[in-house]
Structure formats: structure tokens, C-alpha cells
């Protein structure tokens, strides 16, 4: 490559990156998942648009898998262990048995509705069966939902990529017929067990190293943290285990350890995650041929409706039945099964393997992801409100670049006082928040107030609180308790336990 070609390549790449960032801002303002506009940027830049040619499915598979590793490392780094530790069992069942149920039901629909032969139908079912971590992390973290509900869907999306990839690889390489259940189950258990163990081990090695090694620059700590997650992915892949589960678990271990420069690490991880998403979706947009997509619309609608209205609800109901999850939460989990980059990346596997009809599968998957992301993504807030799951008083973590929160070992939280909350009429000093938590700001009807001890809270107030990681859980419990029972909550036996701990053992609609 000459220097002039290099400059042209960088110019095009920079323009595509900036266009994608602008698309992300536009998507956020209009309430659309950003992945749709990233895909659109790739399609516009492709052969039928600006003329960029890209049809190398093997390169797309390799780059896509690497991008998924970065996205899952970022997902693990930004997931709170306390939010998902009680949810590992239901999330694990959803990510394994739930995937299997979805594959079978979706394949049956593709076989009977589209006349697709069973091998290709099972392959298509496996490709679209898992929820997408990038889409789930981006959409759910912006919604005021109960922590246990968000944690369950996030944990499932982080875990279920690995079983799905194993199934797709098995079906793609089955040249002499479908693999038997025993070898398939054995391979699945090996990959998950070894990949999970390597992820946890390398994550703990990273924690030990970063706690005891003084690096010469602050910027090296985030780089090293993400580097350990990528190393876990590569190490697991080198021994034919699941690199995807290893990357997520390594990120989870590293992200929940008390390491130096946590805020900088999280910001860096989010930046790399966005870069991986942009590159991945634009590349996948380049890969498809728009002229081939119209013929895939009806098959994609048929398979997508089977997946959304039958396969996903049946798998959620069957898997969560033993865990007594309320039916309204099951309904939301069913609707929140977002698809994104993962199915499109997986659709390149049978193309690389030379499976007959694989290109048609790619087109169906691409159209399915676009159509049903348009349906599910924007409607999730409405579905949450209709099911009574939105929480106006949910505490949300805020990322502040100008405040030295990392140096202070502090967390910044905000909450709203919803109508009907017993926080209404309570003075700041009556909150009796655990030391050193403090209410630093109140926003009331667009007016900013700096509270003193006697300031009285009102319904509709937005509160800004500063606390420490050690006092954060106690602070959240105290605020929940007062919101439920008032300032005498402790005397009335209310200690602000999360819903997961206080839920009745009976099922409710």
C-alpha cells in the first residue's frame, strides 16, 4: 500500500467512524437502537451505495468474533456482581436450556412455514436463538427497571453467546449429518467449563497484578485491564474452549474488584466497546448485498414472528418456572430478547463452511435483525410501563469525567422521588443516611437547590447523592425503606431489601 492509498483509507475510515458516531447521537434522540443506523452506514458505504466492496465472509467472521470479545469484556467490566450473583442459576438455565428450546421451536417454524430442510432450519434456529449482549446492555441500562430484572437479562445475554456459537459451529461442520446429542452435550460442557474457569482464573490474576504493580501512567491501567480480558478470550480459544464466556467472566471479575482508576477503566472500556460495535455493524452492513434483501423479507418476518411470539416465550416460561419469577417479568424478559450483531456474525460461519443455502440464511438473518430491532427496541419502555415494571425511584450510576470520584473512592447516584413515595415530606436530616453518604443537590421543577439538614423532599424531586462503594448498598436500602414506609421505616420492620429478597414465593401476574 502506498502512502496515498493509506491516507485515502484513513480518510474513508475516519469519515465512516464520525458518521457512525453522529448516527449514535441521532438514534439516542429518536429512541432507536444505534445498531440500526450503524448497519445503515455500512449499507450506504457498500457496493450499491458509495461503492466500497467487501464480500470476504471469512474475514468478517474473524473480525466479528474479535469485536464480540471486546464488547463482552466491556459488558463484564460494567456489570455489577451484586446485581447478578443471585441470578446466576436462572440466567444459566436461560442461556443453555433456553437456547436449546428456542433452536428447536424456531427450526420447526422455519421447516413447516418455509419448507426449509431440517439441517438448514436448525442452523437458522441456532443463529437467531441468543440475545445480543451489545443491544441488551445499550437498551436496558437506559431504562428504570428493577435491578434483578435488568441483571437477569444482562447475565443471560452475556452467557448465551457461547452455547449458541458452539451449536452453530457444530451444525455448520456437520457434513455427514447432524451431530448426536451426546457428543454435542459433551462439547458444550467442555467449552463452557474450561472457558469459564480460564476467564475467572485470568481475571483474578489480572486483579492481583494490577493491585501490586505500580504502572508509570494512569492510562496504562485501563489498557491493562481490557488486555487481561482479551487474553482470557484468546487463551480459551487456543484450547478449543469458549473464548466468549472467558472474556465476559474475566471482565466481570476485573470490573468488580477494587482496582486503581476504576472510573478511567470503565470509560476506556465503554469507548473500546463502542468502537467495536461501530466497526462490527458497519462491516456487517458492507457484507450484505441490498439487492438480495427484498426476497428475504417474508421469510424473515415468518421466522421472526415464530421466534418472538412462540420460541422465546416458551423458552422463558419453561426455564423460569422453577424460579418463581412473576409472569409480568417473564413477559418483559420474552420481549427483551433483542437480536443484534451476534446472529449476523454467526450467519457467516456456514458461508465459510460452504453450507448450501448459507447466503440465503445470511439475508434472512440480516432482515430479521433490522425488522425486529425496530419493533422491540423502541417499544421496551412502553412494555415496561404497561407491565408495571418501570421504577421512577430507581437509582442510576452516573459517569462524571470532571469529578475526581476515583481518587475519592466515591460513587455518584441520582434518584427521583415518585408520586406516592413516603419520601415526600421527609427532611434531609431525617433520612439518616449511613456515613459518609450525603444528598448534595435537589432539582425541583427545573430549579436547582443546595439542601441543608432541614430541606424537605417533595414528590418529583431529583436527588443527587455521593457515597462510597462500601456504603452504597446501605444507602440504597435506607432510601428504599423510607420510600416504602416513611421515616419510621426501621421501627416498622422495613429495611429496604431489594425486590429479589422480599418477593413472595407465589406467582403473580
Grid cell locating 470: 462500601
pLDDT at position 180:
65
Computed over every residue of the chain, the mean pLDDT equals: 82
pLDDT in tens, 256-308: 888 877 777 888 888 888 888 888 888 888 888 888 888 989 999 999 999 99
For 438, phi then psi, to 5°, come to: -150, 145
For 498, phi then psi, to 5°, come to: -60, 160
DSSP secondary structure letters along 144-161: ---HHHHHHHHHHHHHTH
CB 323 within 8 A of CB 507: no
Angle formed by the axes of helices 181-212 and 243-255, nearest 10°? 30
For 153, residues 6+ apart whose C-beta sits below 8 A from its C-beta are 131, 136, 140, 333, 336
pLDDT in tens, 183-227: 777 877 888 899 999 999 999 999 999 888 877 877 888 889 999
Grid cell locating 465: 447523592
Q: Mean pLDDT in runs of 10 for the chain (509 residues)?
A: 79 80 70 71 75 79 86 84 81 89 93 90 90 71 75 82 84 65 78 91 92 80 90 92 89 86 80 84 82 89 93 92 88 85 85 86 90 84 84 52 55 84 90 89 89 90 87 87 87 74 36
pLDDT at position 398:
46
pTM of the predicted model, to two decimals?
A: 0.73
Q: Domains in the chain, please, with CATH?
A: 57-173+181-386 (1.20.1530.20), 396-502 (3.30.70.1450)
Amino acid at each position: 500500500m502506498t502512502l496515498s492509498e493509506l491516507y485515502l483509507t484513513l480518510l474513508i475510515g475516519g469519515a465512516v467512524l464520525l458518521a457512525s458516531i453522529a448516527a449514535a447521537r441521532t438514534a439516542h434522540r429518536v429512541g432507536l437502537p444505534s445498531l440500526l443506523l450503524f448497519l445503515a452506514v455500512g449499507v450506504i458505504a457498500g457496493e450499491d451505495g458509495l461503492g466500497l466492496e467487501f464480500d470476504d465472509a471469512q474475514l468478517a467472521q474473524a473480525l466479528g468474533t474479535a469485536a464480540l470479545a471486546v464488547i463482552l469484556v466491556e459488558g463484564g467490566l460494567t456489570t455489577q456482581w451484586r446485581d447478578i450473583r443471585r441470578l446466576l442459576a436462572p440466567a444459566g438455565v436461560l442461556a443453555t436450556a433456553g437456547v436449546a428450546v428456542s433452536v428447536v421451536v424456531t427450526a420447526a417454524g422455519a421447516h413447516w412455514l418455509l419448507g426449509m430442510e431440517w439441517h438448514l432450519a436448525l442452523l437458522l434456529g441456532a443463529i437467531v436463538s441468543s440475545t445480543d449482549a451489545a443491544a441488551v446492555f445499550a437498551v436496558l441500562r437506559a431504562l428504570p427497571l428493577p435491578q434483578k430484572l435488568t441483571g437477569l437479562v444482562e447475565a443471560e445475554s452475556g452467557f448465551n453467546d457461547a452455547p449458541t456459537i458452539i451449536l452453530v459451529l457444530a451444525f455448520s461442520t456437520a457434513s455427514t449429518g447432524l451431530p448426536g446429542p451426546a457428543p454435542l452435550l459433551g462439547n458444550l460442557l467442555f467449552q463452557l467449563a474450561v472457558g469459564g474457569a480460564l476467564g475467572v482464573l485470568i481475571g483474578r490474576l489480572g486483579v492481583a497484578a494490577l493491585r501490586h504493580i505500580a504502572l508509570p501512567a494512569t492510562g496504562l491501567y485501563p489498557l491493562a485491564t481490557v488486555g487481561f480480558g482479551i487474553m482470557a478470550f484468546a487463551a480459551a480459544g487456543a484450547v478449543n474452549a469458549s473464548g466468549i464466556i472467558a472474556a465476559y467472566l474475566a471482565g466481570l471479575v476485573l470490573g468488580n474488584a477494587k482496582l486503581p482508576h476504576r472510573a478511567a477503566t470503565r470509560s476506556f472500556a465503554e469507548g473500546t466497546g463502542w468502537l467495536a460495535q461501530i466497526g462490527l455493524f458497519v462491516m456487517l452492513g458492507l457484507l450484505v448485498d441490498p439487492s438480495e434483501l427484498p426476497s428475504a423479507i417474508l421469510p424473515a418476518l415468518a421466522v421472526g414472528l415464530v421466534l418472538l411470539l412462540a420460541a422465546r416465550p416458551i423458552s422463558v416460561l419453561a426455564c423460569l418456572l422453577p424460579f418463581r419469577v412473576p409472569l409480568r417479568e417473564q413477559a418483559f424478559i420474552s420481549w427483551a430478547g433483542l437480536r443484534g450483531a451476534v446472529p449476523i456474525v454467526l450467519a457467516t460461519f456456514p458461508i465459510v463452511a460452504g453450507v448450501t443455502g448459507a447466503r440465503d440464511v445470511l439475508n434472512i438473518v440480516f432482515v430479521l435483525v433490522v425488522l425486529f430491532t425496530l419493533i422491540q427496541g423502541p417499544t421496551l419502555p412502553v412494555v415496561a410501563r404497561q407491565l408495571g415494571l418501570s421504577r421512577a425511584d430507581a437509582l442510576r450510576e452516573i459517569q462524571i469525567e470532571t469529578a475526581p470520584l476515583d481518587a475519592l473512592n466515591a460513587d455518584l447516584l441520582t434518584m427521583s422521588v415518585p408520586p406516592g413515595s413516603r419520601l415526600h415530606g421527609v427532611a434531609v436530616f431525617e433520612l439518616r443516611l449511613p456515613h459518609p453518604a450525603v444528598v448534595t443537590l435537589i432539582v425541583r421543577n427545573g430549579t436547582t437547590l443546595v439542601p441543608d439538614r432541614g430541606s424537605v423532599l417533595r414528590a418529583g424531586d431529583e436527588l443527587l447523592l455521593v457515597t462510597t462503594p462500601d456504603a452504597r448498598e446501605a444507602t440504597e436500602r435506607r432510601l428504599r425503606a423510607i420510600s416504602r414506609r416513611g421515616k419510621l421505616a426501621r421501627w416498622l420492620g422495613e429495611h429496604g431489601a431489594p425486590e429479589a429478597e422480599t418477593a413472595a414465593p407465589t406467582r403473580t401476574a
